[in-house]
Structure 1
Amino acid sequence: MHASLVMARECNDTWKNLRSIGQNGVFSPKAIESAAGIGTGKVTEMVKFLRDNKDGKVVNIEDLVFATFTNIITNVFISRNLFDAGGESESDEKVMSFLNEEIIDKATSFGLTDVFPMLKGVDFWSKRKAMDIYRNINFIWEDIIKERRSLATDDDANIPNNSTKDLLDVLNGYGFPVDQIGILLTELLIAGTDSTTITTVWLMAELIKNKEILHQVRNEIANKAIIEGNKLNESLLSECQYFQSCIKETLRLHIPGPFAVPHRATETCKINNYTIPKDSIVLVNGWAIQMDPNNWEDPTSFKPERFLNSTIDSRGAHFEYIPFSAGSRMCPGQNVALKGVQLVVASLVHYFDWSLPNGKDPSKLDLSDKFGTTLKKDKPLYLIPRPRENYIVG
């Protein structure tokens, strides 16, 4: 049985060890700081790809953003890109399909035993689904992991805490088998790309639909976060209060994981006269909390100003706002996610003007969602970029 970081049934010693490795290698302040240059470089590649190849052409924003976030994370994990800048090559589309459709969709869909646990022994569909996911994970990572091991010296492979090494070196140093490393890399990759991609797509859709909000965000970025040569200063983006409010409001209105990560009752307990049996799977309906009119005025509307001069944040202390869950199982990568979303969206709106295909009215953009274990936009967001004059990167 393989240990899991995200979907572990309990917070045992193995889970704590894996979380510690992930925290130190990916989510610690030092790791985030060292990855900042990688993120800036990959976003610059995205901007140049759009400028050189997509001027006036239709772009699938989800695919573009997913490829960018994936390359940022895989350069931290394995020191290499997984996709081309636009994620449009045949091999890119195959791997992207595996991650999005085969792994993410299958792993996050409800199976028969989720509803009827007593049928676990005869649920061959779920077992077949798990085997498909396992084969796809090996398809993506096996050659990469084996190649790294063949290049590593004996000394290199046994120094797990060397700060010059990437996450793959660290995992190899701990002696994990190839398939276990592949599972861990996949869990961390999906955790770092799925929610950030979903949030970025929703934020871009809301900005395109609300022209005045887009102009206000763009002007704030130009006034506060531009350095020499029209380049964005990532550290100054956090000072763009209205832009930050737009990100918070997107996470409230379009929470990426409406039920958060599943929790398990380790002991039988009673809450408000309800008995929760031991080993029950507990889902927290974050969507209902963040759309509750008792917590939020006019909750179905996109109103970034509700977060201006507000002390509410996403660190789990305000239970009316839990886009990253709360408690010991809350998302450890929220700082990485927020930095990624702000840099990608700021670059897209600063360097390009955007329009809908066929001259469609942006104010009529369809914002219906596809409800599930993740809350994606129902219809893909297709946009046409035009580079803005006097705003050229690199």
Structure 2
Amino acid sequence: MLFLLVLLIILPLLIIFFHKHKTHNPPGPKGLPIIGNLHQLDICNLHLQFSQFSKIYGPLFSLKLGFRKAIVVSSAEIAKQVLKNNDLIFSNRPIFYGQRKLSYNGSEIGFSQYGEFWREIRKICVVHILGSKRVSYYSSIRKFEVKKMIQKISGHATCSSVTNLSELLTSLSTTTICRIAFGKNYENQGNERSRFHGLFYELHALLKEFFVSDYIPFMGWIDKLRGLHGRVDTLFKEFDKFYQEIIDEHLDPNRQQIAEEEDIVDVLLQLKKNHSFPFHFTFDHIKAVLVDMLIAATDTTSATSVWAMTTLIKNPRVMKKVQEEIRNNMGVKKDFLEEDDIQNFPYLKAVIKEVLRLHLPAPLLVPRESREKCIISGYDIPPKTIVYVNAWAIQRDHNFWKNSEEFYPERFLESSINFTGQDFELIPFGAGRRICPGISMGVASLELTLANLLYSFDWTLPHGLVKEDIDTEVLPGISQHKKNPLCLVANIHI
């Protein structure tokens, strides 16, 4: 009798307790024990697969990735909740083995955890490296390298040969950032060129690798059997040696330097010498910042430039219209367009926005991680949850974008929507605290490159090809690169 009485008292309290503490998780596909949903994922095309999942489970759904929880955001409204309203809560980065190792334990902007260190290292980069003054300061390098590429294409045009634009634009991007960052150009240095490109390609190969240990720690031996840990360790040592050689060259009192070309290593070494930070700024911090420059600056600009020319050759109407704007607004014929000239080309800027809408550099942005529990759209999101923002799906959402799959730059001519992180329907560079700090640098290079390619040449397809033959397949990886090279014929515009 006493037992029943106690049960009658305790049972309602237990019901209230468990009801109160019951979590309301976002819906999502059912997974298996231990591995969760890992077996269901197509690592090469996650943004496409997540887009399909969102049609089934809604614009916010959850996944179980081994022992880690994840959510995927596929609408502008929910992206705003995550990247603006709860930006501080979602300001961390998930820790992944390869990224952590190669970024000197997150000693830079991209992969570091949110906190005092991140704020200081970001301030260094925004104020001293990526600010508007520095972007203007490096305009002469951008001009020189783009002009050199135009001259090279002119040589192809003279003999009517096919130009591999993918190769040229990748080389342009790499050469420009190497000069800005290191004060060196590796394109004409034989063995050094081979060494640099070998390191560069292995870096991108490893950053897109799947490490089992990131999701199921006790099965990390699989990564070792596959040789991934060995490859990461080897690459880290080789890159560390490469960066140290660059630093040593800059510290050499006998180094010959062009006075007006102070590169990023010069800037960082001067900051180190001044001891003006609340933490001990080391050579490893300098190396980590250079990793960011190589990953972000070279990859995204070259990929977007190739997609821009790909999309234009497949849309002759837009190609003709943007070329008419550039050529008719110039008045006097020039050999080369300056960055100041580009401010008079609203349609070109609309074209670039539309390219970034359809072919943004990182379709899933860079993943974030929640620092504490919060509620998004009525769902409980626990701490340590990985957050994927499917910007690719958001920027093709037919509920917002009319004819969302169509390449139609005119949609931006009468619109104030921009890609600076305030309009969550267009977030190719992210938003909030972790927005890409190199937007100005990247856009300046992209605009100058495209303007001069379109001003100097009339572009046609190689003999026998039609626009439908130009594919839009994508390579797997963090950035969305065109799978097959874009090869076109350039004819000098008279």
TM-score after normalising by structure 2: 0.70
Task: Write out per-residue CA displacement over residues 203-255 of structure 1, whole angstroms, 9 at most, x where no aligned residue.
Answer: 00011111121111111111224656343132221321111111001100111
Preserved CA contact (<8 Å) 1:355 1:384: yes
Change in 2 beyond 3 A, CA 1:117/1:326: farther
One-letter amino acid matched to 1:51: S
Say whether residues 1:348 and 2:453 are aligned partners.
Answer: yes
Say whether residues 1:170 and 2:267 are aligned partners.
Answer: yes
One-letter amino acid matched to 2:393: A
Say whether residues 1:143 and 2:245 are aligned partners.
Answer: yes
**Structure 1 residue 147, shift from structure 2 partner:** 1.4
Change in 2 beyond 3 A, CA 1:381/1:114: farther
Matches within 5 A, 1:310-325: 310-325=415-430
Instruction: Give, in whole Å, the separation in 1 of the partners of 2:464 and 2:472.
Output: 18
Percent of aligned positions that are identical: 30
Give the 3-state SS of the residue equivalent to 2:426 in structure 1.
coil
**Bigger shift: residues 59-68 or 303-312:** 59-68
Change in 2 beyond 3 A, CA 1:108/1:196: same
One-letter amino acid matched to 1:98: L
Partner of 2:205: 105
Matches within 5 A, 1:7-26: 7-26=110-129
Partner of 2:165: 61
One-letter amino acid matched to 1:68: L
**Structure 1 residue 121, shift from structure 2 partner:** 7.7
Partner of 2:139: 36
**Structure 1 residue 343, shift from structure 2 partner:** 0.7
Partner of 1:267: 372
Change in 2 beyond 3 A, CA 1:382/1:163: closer
One-letter amino acid matched to 1:209: K
Matches within 5 A, 1:52-201: 52=155, 55=158, 56-84=160-188, 91-92=192-193, 94-99=195-200, 101-117=201-217, 119=219, 123-124=223-224, 125-138=227-240, 140-151=242-253, 165-173=262-270, 174=272, 177-201=282-306
Instruction: Give, in whole Å, the separation in 2 of the partners of 1:116 and 1:356.
Output: 48
Name stretches of at least 5 consecutive residues in structure 1 with no aligned partner. Answer: 154-161, 390-394
Change in 2 beyond 3 A, CA 1:245/1:367: same
**Structure 1 residue 364, shift from structure 2 partner:** 3.5
Instruction: Give, in whole Å, the separation in 2 of the partners of 1:221 and 1:97.
Output: 38
One-letter amino acid matched to 2:142: G
Alpha carbon RMSD of aligned pairs, Å? 2.8
TM-score after normalising by structure 1: 0.86
One-letter amino acid matched to 2:250: R
From the CA coordinates, give the structure whose radius of gyration is larger.
Answer: 2
Task: Write out per-residue CA displacement over residues 18-72 of structure 1, whole angstroms, 9 at most, x where no aligned residue.
Answer: 2122112221111111111221111111112222366433333222112212222
Instruction: Give, in whole Å, the separation in 2 of the partners of 1:182 and 1:51.
Output: 37
Partner of 1:377: 482
Change in 2 beyond 3 A, CA 1:225/1:324: farther
Say whether residues 1:283 and 2:370 are aligned partners.
Answer: no
Preserved CA contact (<8 Å) 1:260 1:283: yes
Instruction: Give, in whole Å, the separation in 2 of the partners of 1:117 and 1:284.
Output: 25
**4+ runs of 1 displaced by more than 6 Å?**
none
Change in 2 beyond 3 A, CA 1:82/1:275: farther
**Structure 1 residue 194, shift from structure 2 partner:** 0.9
Preserved CA contact (<8 Å) 1:225 1:237: no
